[in-house]
Structure 1
Amino acid sequence: MALKASALKVGDTHSERVVENLSRTQIVQYAGASGDYNPLHSDEVYTTQAAGYPSVFAHGMLTMGLTGKMLTNYVGDGTLTKFGVRFTNQVWPGDTLDSTATVTALREEGGQHYVDLTLSTKNQDGKEVVAGSATARIDP
C-alpha cells in the first residue's frame, strides 16, 4: 500500500530492525557484492595489528544499505528523490541495528506531494551509527 500524505503528520516515525547479530560472513558477502575488499573489513590480523582497531568492521555503505531497506519498506520502491547519510560510528560483527525514519515535513511542489524524513540507525547499545535524511514522492 502506498504511503499517503493525508495519513501522515510531522513527527510520525517508522522503525525496523535491519540486522540482528551482524556476522562476519555478511560483511564478507557485502565486500564481494560491492567489490570493496579493503582489508579493514575482512582481515583480522591487518585490522588489529597494523591498523589498531579492535576488530574488523562493516562497510559504511553496508550500513547505509540496511538503512535504505527500512526506508524503502516505509515509503515504497521507486519513490525516493533524495537519500543521504553520514557515518557516525563503526558497526562491528555481532551488532544489532535498528533504523528509524521520522517525518519532518510534508509538502507539495508542482502538484506532487513529498515527505521529508530524518533517518537514524542505532546499535544495540543505542549508539547512533548512521544519521541522514531522505525525501520521497507520496500519494496525496
Structure 2
Amino acid sequence: MDLRKHVFSSFQPLRKKRAIVGEPITVVLPKKMAIREDLRSKISIVETAASEAEARHRSKIEVAKVVVVDEQKDKILKLGRELTFDGCNFCFKKTAKVFSDIDTEVLDHIEVSDVESEDFKDDEVSKDPAAPTDP
C-alpha cells in the first residue's frame, strides 16, 4: 500500500495543480495571444507574397494555357486531316455503324450550301432548297 502511494505521488503532472494565493496564473494567456498574433502576421505576409508572385506570373500562366490549347487544336486538326486523306470517309463509316438503316451512298449526292440563317415564323416556308419540307 505504501508503494502505491509513493508511485502516485511521484507523478506530479498527473495531479491537478491547485492555485496558490498570489501565484500569477494570467501570465500564460498573454503569451499565447502574442504567439497567435505573431503567427497571424506571418501568415498574412506569406499570403501577400503568394498573391504578388501569382500576379507576376499570371501572364506566363495565361501564355502557357494558350500554348497548350493551340497544341491540342493542332493535334485535332492533324487527326482530322489524316482521317480525311486516308481514302475512306471515317464519318460515313461511323454513321453507318450507328445508324445501320441509313444509306450512306445518298449522302454523296446531297449538296450543302451556305445560307445565312434567318428567323422564320412557324407558318412561313423556308426558301432554302436544302431545307427539309417535312410538315
Query: TM-score w.r.t. structure 2 length?
Result: 0.20
**Structure number with larger C-alpha Rg:** 2
Query: TM-score w.r.t. structure 1 length?
Result: 0.20
Q: Which protein, 1 or 2, shows the higher relative CO under an 8 Å CA cutoff with sep ≥ 6?
A: 1
Greater helix proportion:
2
